[in-house]
């Protein structure tokens, strides 16, 4: 059993390191988002691009329609490029559950289809009013940067941390069995049992965070973000807390293994 426990401890160390690498790579992807993409409107001071701005009017003048269409094409293509990166990440990662992977793939592909159709519609628009409405929808109906990108990051990280938590739970069960056997044999395992208690507390805390983020964030849609721009606020910090808890649980496990070896 000692060898098996040591193997599990080593595996968990790899998973914990992997969760940091995943968070880093996804954060880098998020940082690649153009600064202008975080804005939300094409009509006022929060415009994504001065070229797509239609001032405070609900229409586009005939003379500006070609300029606005070109700018809209650029905005859509930037979003399609970002969605392509997300699709590749979702497809290639082993950290997502199959259910979450399927949900995210469907969502990204739906965004791609919608934006592609919207681009065709914009290029075919002959009415300045319709063009204004269609261009506005790039930023209000397709929240590629504000919602979809951070959503993929959050779910991917939460799923990977749940893998770590499952491994830690299995290890804690095995350690509990070993400690019970040693206690029955008359050995003093008081300190190690305290470490095990702390380990379980940290695992449970991390599990609560990771599972809650998965359940809460996965169903979010652009309309949810439109209703509340702070809807994703705090989740990144929560995931960092969960990672810290998992790391602390791993440290407890190492201490227990070392203590068992010294008995």
Contact (Cβ atoms closer than 8 angstroms) between residue 159 and residue 219: no
**162 SS3 class:** helix
Give me the pLDDT at residue 263, please: 85
d(CA 227, CA 91) in angstroms, rounded, equals 30
Give me the pLDDT at residue 95, please: 85
Give me the pLDDT at residue 107, please: 96
* Tokens 């695992």, residue located: 203
Question: Which residues have CB under 8 Å from 228's CB, separation 6+?
Answer: none
Give pLDDT < 70 ranges for the chain.
1-56
d(CA 179, CA 201) in angstroms, rounded, equals 17
Give me the pLDDT at residue 50, please: 45
Query: Smallest Cα–Cα separation from 34: which of 149, 157, 123?
Result: 149
Contact (Cβ atoms closer than 8 angstroms) between residue 241 and residue 202: no
Measured between alpha carbons, how far is residue 259 from residues 14, 175, 186, 187, 251 in Å? Answer: 22, 11, 15, 11, 12
Write out pLDDT tens, residues 58-88.
899 999 999 999 999 999 999 999 999 999 9
Give me the pLDDT at residue 40, please: 40
Domains of the chain, by residue range, sit at 1-32+154-263, 39-142
d(CA 143, CA 38) in angstroms, rounded, equals 9
């Amino acid at each position: 059993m000692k060898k098996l426990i040591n193997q599990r401890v080593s595996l968990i160390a790899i998973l914990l390191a992997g969760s940091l690498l995943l968070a880093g790579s996804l954060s880098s992807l998020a940082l690649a988002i153009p600064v202008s993409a975080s804005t939300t409107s094409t009509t006022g001071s929060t415009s994504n691009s001065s070229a797509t701005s239609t001032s405070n009017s609900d229409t586009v003048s005939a003379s500006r329609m070609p300029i606005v269409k070109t700018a809209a094409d650029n905005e859509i293509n930037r979003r399609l490029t970002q969605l392509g990166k997300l699709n590749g990440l979702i497809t290639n990662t082993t950290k997502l559950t199959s259910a979450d992977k399927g949900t995210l793939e469907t969502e990204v592909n739906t965004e791609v289809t919608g934006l592609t159709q919207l681009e065709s519609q914009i290029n075919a628009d002959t009415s300045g009013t319709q063009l204004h409405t269609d261009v506005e929808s790039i930023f209000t109906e397709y929240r590629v940067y504000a919602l979809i990108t951070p959503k993929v990051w959050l779910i991917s990280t939460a799923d990977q941390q749940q893998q770590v938590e499952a491994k830690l739970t299995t290890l804690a069960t095995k350690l509990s069995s070993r400690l019970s056997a040693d206690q029955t044999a008359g050995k003093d395992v008081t300190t190690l049992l305290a470490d095990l208690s702390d380990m379980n507390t940290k695992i449970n805390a991390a599990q609560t965070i990771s599972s809650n983020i998965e359940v809460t964030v996965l169903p979010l849609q652009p309309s949810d973000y439109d209703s509340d721009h702070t809807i994703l606020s705090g989740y990144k910090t929560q995931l960092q807390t969960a990672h810290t808890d998992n790391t602390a649980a791993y440290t407890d496990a190492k201490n227990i293994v070392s203590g068992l070896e010294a008995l």
